[in-house]
Structure 1
Amino acid sequence: MSTSSAAPGRGGPADPPGERPPMREALVAAAFRLFLERGYERTTVEDIVTLAGVGRRSFFRYFPSKEDVVFPDHERCLTDMTAFLAASPEDADPVARVCDAARLVLRMYAENPAFSVQRYHLTRQVPGLRAYELSVVWRYERALAAYLRGRLSGRADGTLRADMIAAAVVAAHNNGLRSWLRSGGREDPRAAVDHALGLAQAVFGDASGAPVAPRVAGPADVVVVAARRGAPLWQVVREVEAAFGRD
């Protein structure tokens, strides 16, 4: 839920009739080649389409802005996640279900480790991309919260609980994901994310509200972060990252 990173070419609109299938992939590949060579700020859309050998209109047919070419699969992943949650069985535990929804995002990252790591470093260097990334994280969180609000509507604290669970699941997923990205994509991404999501489930329990024993947890694994009411999401995320000593 941090930056999406399936292989360039998945997601986004289908290639229009008559277009050569690799056009979208060519645009992403050209963009990242230039970002690495020249830097993000010094690369223009015109530079990208020239290198890709396509027209300017072709770029905007696939990507509304230069920022969007850095995150080519967010829309597809968000759509997949929303459909996954909508298809949830009535007896599915809602906390476990949103954790599984988060794993869909992890799977997207793991499909192309090199691309994921490359983009991770790029977003660390460009403040504008980091801000864009946070806005996308918020959309994932809202999708999870919307599902949880429906499932927990019978509880007096259902809305509050839904929002807290969604925020916790996103934070847990991103913590494990970034640990994998910092390793250069060499480690198993599932281990860190499963551990973090297990802690989230342990805190919020199952559908009945009963606590669930964490798979692996100890005193040193729990971090409490306080934030003032109304604090913007980016500020809360920054506090969580600082507490874990992460980027």
Structure 2
Amino acid sequence: MSSSSAAPTAKPPMRDALVTAAFQLFLERGYEQTTVDEIVALAGVGRRSFFRYFPSKEDVVFPDHERCLADMTAFLAAGDEEHEPVRRVCDAARMVLGMYAENPAFSVQRYRLTRKVPGLRAYELSVVWRYERALAGYLRGRFAGRPDGTLRADVIAAAVVAAHNNALRSWLRSDGTGDAGAAVDHALGCVQRTFGDTADAPVMAVPTGPLPTGPAPTGPAPAGERTGRPDDVVVLVSRRDAPVWRVVQEWEAALGRA
């Protein structure tokens, strides 16, 4: 037996239905003017169902942050001594971007709503603070016993959040166009180059000219003699992500100009 009737469309999960109904009403009536009773009525569920998923109306605007924060905390906890700590927290921050990038249209819509409602902006800041505390807690454990370990942990955590949010908000302001991942990678790369262990890596200058045969000089070479023979070559070997100022400093030292 055959049938030409199409299968019924599956209803969205109750949680998703509540989020969709809430944002429809927020756009039509405004956030402040929308009540929880109106949201559940549009979603076709009971009031008790709303509070089963969301403690407050504010929480329906940020439905995935609790899950993302839990995933981030687990990711950090799974790290060990082999993981460079600054790179680890930068990778953890990328998980937040992944959450936003799952649904760009919704993320842009939420960003616009948050900008208009001071209460939501304050709520968002409290969420950001929780992310920052998670990053700082991990770094405090990794830097325990080091000089200024707690200070360093808190500063790096704040820098990671600031860099990530700078790139994320630029993407949201552009209506979700462009490569958000590349923008966040660039921003977090600045943090890694500034605070990562590789930033302390030494820069080594290797002369490739003939080795000296006489005694080593005891003072700086006179002007005009510092470069040695005209065909001498000095090769500077450094980490790719070494700060430019450190490369210049070592270069000048190798040439006797420090």
Could you state the TM-score of these two structures normalised by the residue count of structure 2? 0.73
Structure 1 position 191, deviation (Å): 1.2
Corresponding letter in the other structure for 1:23: M
**Which of 139, 148, 154 in structure 1 is aligned with 2:145?**
154
CA distance in 2 between counterparts of 1:69 and 1:149 reads 32
Segments of 4+ moved more than 2 angstroms: 207-217
- Residues 1:95 and 2:86 are matched in the alignment: yes
Change (3 A) 1:102 1:216: farther
Partner residue, 1:168: 159
Do the aligned partners of residues 206 and 21 (structure 1) sit closer, same or farther apart at CA in structure 2, a change above 3 Å counting?
same
1:59-109 deviation line (CA, Å, top 9, x unaligned)? 000000000000001110000000000011321100000000000110111
1:148-189, Cα deviation, whole Å (9 max, x unpaired)? 000011211100000000000000000000011111111110
1:149 aligned partner, one-letter code: R
**Equivalent residue for 2:17?**
26
More moved, 86-95 vs 120-129: 86-95
Cα-to-partner distance string for 1:191-223 (whole Å, 9 max, x where unaligned): 111111011111112278549765999xxxxxx
Letter in 1 for 2:102: E
In the superposition, relative to structure 1, how do residues 55 and 149 fare at CA in structure 2: closer, same or farther (>3 Å)? same
Q: 1:190 aligns with which of 154, 177, 181?
A: 181
- Call closer, same or farther: CA 1:184–1:196 in 2, change over 3 Å: same
Asked if 1:53 is matched to 2:49, the reply is no
In the aligned structure 2, how far is the partner of 1:181 from the partner of 1:115?
A: 10
SS in 2 for 1:72: coil
For residues 38 and 216 of structure 1, the distance between their equivalents in structure 2, rounded to whole angstroms, comes to: 52
CA distance in 2, matches of 1:192, 1:185: 12
Partners of 2:103 and 2:43 lie apart in 1 by: 21
Q: Percentage identity across aligned positions? A: 78
Task: Tell me whether 1:127 sits opposite 2:118 in the alignment.
Answer: yes
1:42 is the counterpart of 2:33:
yes
SS of the counterpart of 2:197?
Answer: coil
**Secondary structure at the counterpart of residue 80 of structure 2:** coil
**Are 1:198 and 1:216, in contact at CA under 8 Å, matched by a contact in 2?**
no
Q: Any conservation in 2 of the 1:148–1:162 contact (CA below 8 Å)?
A: yes
Aligned 8 A contact 1:49 1:56 in 2:
yes
Matched with 1:206 is: 197
Which of 52, 66, 70 pairs up with 2:57? Answer: 66
Relative to 1, partners in 2 of residues 1:181 and 1:21: Cα closer, same or farther, differing over 3 Å? Answer: closer
TM-score by length of 1: 0.76
1: distance between equivalents of 2:59 and 2:194?
35
Distance 1:53 1:162, change over 3 A: same
**One-letter code aligned to 2:44:** G
- Matched residue type, 2:107: S
2:192 aligned partner, one-letter code: Q
Structure 1 residue runs of 5 or longer lacking an equivalent are 1-19, 218-247
Structure 1 residues 189 and 205: alpha-carbon distance in aligned structure 2, compared to 1, 3 A threshold: same
Paired AA for residue 117 in structure 2? V
Query: What one-letter code is carried by the residue in structure 1 that aligns with 2:112?
Result: H
Residue in 2 that maps onto 1:9: none
- Residue in 2 aligned with 1:106? 97
The answer to which structure, 1 or 2, has the higher relative contact order (CA under 8 A, 6+ apart) is: 1
- Matched-pair contact (CA < 8 Å) for 1:95–1:201: yes
Query: Partners in 2 of 1:39 and 1:198 — Cα distance?
Result: 39
Query: Rg bigger for which structure?
Result: 2
